[in-house]
Amino acid sequence: MLESLEPQSVWKNFSGLNAIPRASKKEEQIAAWVRQFGQSLGLEVLSDETGNVVIKKPGQGKGVNAPVVIMQAHLDMVHQKNADTDFDFDTQGIEMYIDGEWVKAKGTTLGADNGMGAAYILTVLEDKTLDHPPIEALFTLDEEAGMTGAKTLGPGMLDGKILLNLDTEDEREITIGCAGGIDTNVTMDLKMEDCPNNTKAYYLTVKGLQGGHSGMDIHLGRGNANKILFRLLYQGYSKFQMRIAGIDGGGLRNAIPREAFASVVVDITKAGEFEQHILHLGNEIKKELRTTDPHLDIHLETAAIPTEVLDVTTQVKITRAIYSLPNGVFRMSADIPGLVETSSNLARVLIKNGQLLSQSLQRSSVESAKMDIANAVRAAFEQIGAAVENAGDYPGWKPEPESGLLKHAIEVYHTVFNREPDVNACHAGLECGIINGRYPGLDMISIGPDIRGAHSPDERVRIASVENFWNYLKALLSSLS
């Protein structure tokens, strides 16, 4: 159905990518498919030890003798689905449909991040009519779960000095910088005890939040399901001595949590008051978030009595530590209006089988600030005796506003759209800074079509923008020829 949309070749290649499961760290199938794609065109195909793929295409038309241009996208996608969606990301392709001016997926992430970027590059590789310079098409792995592909990009694979990263999500923007990031991962053995007698058990649910990309959407004021849940749990214990049996909140490290669940018990004599308090507090939180998260749902349902609950001292320590964590925007940039400088996202909290697991991601365009907020999260957990490990550290990409490529891209943009682009830096993590560390001296920009709701089941791509951006990309490649 999507292949009836224009440009047909881009939608065909996007559909081909989305037919193959491509979770981070599970990209073997998609990488093999891309290699076969290049080989079927008779092009030179390279791979490094990590599995990153480079496909080289000679210049075409007036670009035969032009300088080499690197076009880059990542092959993995964020796997998120609604709780009521029956879908196996390991075996199924994404189920897409047209909804007015958008293409969406049925209850899951769409994979437009960064499948659309990869689809454009594949289309350039197979198109025999375009004027373009020699192309080095770089497809990296594991961008969403630590940027491993870019970090381990093999030597001797690239010759180009111009890099077009196709991972920006607004056709009006040309991105020239991004934040760095670091994961803070927490584990802790927990002390459990038998569930008290004469209790009533509940399943406490927080769902219906918009979630989204923990970098690009962090400034929108959307609720974090984990933080909301622990707000409820903190009061549940302090007012009613509620006990916690288990927690399952959030999902991927780079997604704002949309759902969180807790198994709890309350003394049966306090059950009625507890229910009323959760209802009242839940309604207050809904009012607070009615603009950003109008579909927030907080409710209790009766559940089976659990065998064990957290020891009181353990529960108090964990609840207080997580409730106190910095979350959301920590500081706005003093140099670039409207840009988030530093943030933190509490992405995952799991209490199961006597263990705590927590994952969060701190971002900043200032390296010292990134480590400061990561250390603040670390300190909260170290104070309760948890083991804390930082991982996935990657640098930001420093803007170069005098870039020759940028000036050229602005001129072409104005010619195509008859308006000026928004030139900015973003709070998301892009691979440009890392790739430049592996291949120094690159002149880089990041561009792309309109994608909204990335990293959530609300992810969608605007149909008209896909064609608009294709026209811009063709004009830009022609001008570089």
In 3D, which of 135, 155, 145 has the Cα closest to residue 52?
A: 155
DSSP string, 116-153: HHHHHHHHHHH-SS--B--EEEEEES-TTTT-HHHHTP
95 given a catalytic annotation: no
In this structure, are strands 69-74 and 135-140 parallel, antiparallel, or unpaired?
A: parallel
DSSP 454: T
Helix boundaries (H) for 289-361: 312-323
Is 76 among the catalytic positions? yes
Rounded (10°) CA dihedral 152, 217, 226, 84:
-90
Q: Which sign does the torsion angle of CA 187, 191, 195, 196 carry?
A: negative
What are the CA-CA distances from residue 292 to residues 140, 182, 222, 302 (Å)?
Answer: 34, 27, 5, 29
Of the residues 143, 169, 170, 217, only one is catalytic, namely 143
Query: CB-based burial of residue 326 (10 Å sphere; 0-12 exposed, 13-18 middle, 19+ buried)?
Result: middle
Who's near 294: CB < 8 A, 6+ residues apart? none
Phi/psi at 316 (5° precision): -60, -45
Contact at 8 Å (CB) between 92 and 81? no
Residue 195 near residue 306, CB atoms below 8 Å: yes
Q: What is the CA radius of gyration of the chain?
A: 24
Q: Residue 171: name the closest of 419, 1, 453 by CA.
A: 419
Measured distance CA(297)–CA(228) in Å, rounded: 11
Beta-ladder partners of 261 = 205, 248
Please provide the DSSP assignment of 257-301 as one string: ---EEEEEEEEGGGHHHHHHHHHHHHHHHHHHTTTT-TT-EEEEE
Catalytic residue annotation:
76, 143
